[in-house]
Amino acid sequence: MRFTVRRDLGMHARPAGQFVTLASRFESEISVARADDDEWVSGRSVLSILSLAAAQGTSLRIRAEGVDAAEAVASLGHLVVSRE
β-bridge partners, 72? none
Q: Which of 4, 6, 10, 12 is catalytic?
A: 12
How would you write the pLDDT of the chain (84 residues) with one tens digit per residue?
A: 999 999 999 999 999 999 999 999 999 999 999 999 999 999 999 999 999 999 999 999 999 999 999 999 999 999 999 987
Q: Which residue type, as a one-letter code, is found at position 13?
A: A
Cβ atoms of 19 and 76 closer than 8 Å: yes
**What number of CA atoms fall less than 13 Å from residue 82's CA on the CB side?**
12
> Does the annotation mark 12 as catalytic?
yes
Domain boundaries of the chain, sorted by first residue: 2-81
Among 3.40.50.150, 3.30.1340.10, 3.90.440.10, 3.20.20.150, what is the CATH number of 2-81?
A: 3.30.1340.10
